[in-house]
Amino acid sequence: AAKQKGRGLWQEYNAELQAMERKRRGLELDLRQALAEDQFSLAFQPQIDFATGEPTGMEALLRWNHPEHGLVMPDEFIGLAEESGLLVAIGEWVANEAIRTAAKWERPLTIALNLSPVQIRSDGFVEVLTRAIAVSGIAPSRVELEITETALLHDTDENVRTLHRLRALGVRIALDDFGTGYSSLNYLRSFPFDTIKIDRCFVMDLLERPDCQAIIRATINLAQELDMETVAEGIETADQFEWLGEIGCTAGQGYYISRPIACGEQVEGVARRETTLQLDRFAPSAGG
Ligand code: C2E
Ligand code: MG
Ligand code: MG
Ligand code: MG
């Protein structure tokens, strides 16, 4: 009987796996239509300067408005897009859209874009970015490219060369999700990043965990020594916000400050010159 039951569970598990695989393949097919049918949009999440309390930048976060499934978040489709080779074209759309939008803002906020390893390795990206910057007339120093540690893991020399070519355009380069990858410190040696983004996992437990406090403190000291700025990700409470400001973190980002916002008017509101960001002012509108 036990054997029978085990078999039943296995079949259930198998059926579930097959259903997941079907959804995955379905999404991959749909992804091919998504660009042509204009189903992508960007949400923007403000970053604020701890010293002044003013917004200094926005991170562009990709959203897929799927005709049947509704809003699909990047963690569900970026991997698929990478595997199927579609991310190069999607990334090109993101760069153009984000830079075009930011160029119209009244306040010269930084616009941060996420780059996947596939994009860095694709030859055309430097040219795409060059053109997007030229066409929009944005100051290159307002564009920041966020790269995760895993993006640098393979073909390191080649990738580092590309980072130097990108930097030569005058854009800033940030190391995203710092501390979560393999051999974090080594990456700081391989390229002179402008910004280190302290991963949300350290910020999340900050007040209960002295070890997280120690890691954040050490990261900020290290960044200062290396002449890099720090952005803390995933700030959700006033206490976390205050703690990070007091120890000298440059800028902060997270639900406590603002959720990613999709609506053009709200985004322009943040980018208006007189805006001082009221914490917790924005309703969730574009998905976490
Ligand atoms: P990321 O670059 O580390 O972006 C931060 C993620 O944390 C975003 O999730 C953001 O919505 C979320 N977040 C921000 N503040 C908080 C907070 O206070 N609490 C919590 N729990 N979460 C917070 P999102 O938009 O789902 O993006 C996930 C990841 O997908 C990004 O992580 C980035 O690696 C990737 N991604 C997003 N847009 C793009 C894109 O255009 N291109 C590429 N290649 N990757 C992208
Ligand atoms: Mg990022
Ligand atoms: Mg991050
Ligand atoms: Mg992340």
ipTM: 0.98
pTM attached to this predicted model: 0.91
Q: Is the CB of 240 under 6 A from ligand 1?
A: no
Helices (H), the chain: 2-34, 74-83, 87-103, 117-121, 125-136, 149-152, 156-167, 184-190, 200-204, 210-225, 238-246, 264-270
Q: Is the CB of 94 under 6 A from ligand 1?
A: yes
Own/partner contacts of 247-250, CB < 8 Å, gap of 24 or more, are 247/216, 247/217, 247/220, 248/50, 248/220, 248/224, 249/50, 249/198, 249/216, 249/220, 250/49, 250/50, 250/51, 250/195
Q: Starting from the CA of residue 112, give the closest ligand.
A: 2
pLDDT in tens, 174-227: 999 998 877 778 888 889 999 999 999 999 999 999 999 999 999 999 999 999
pLDDT in tens, 71-115: 999 999 999 999 999 999 999 999 999 999 999 999 999 999 999
Contact (CB, 8 A) for 112 and 44:
no
Q: Is the CB of 236 under 6 A from ligand 1?
A: yes
Query: Which residues are close to ligand 2, an ion, with C-beta < 5 A?
Result: 114, 146, 176
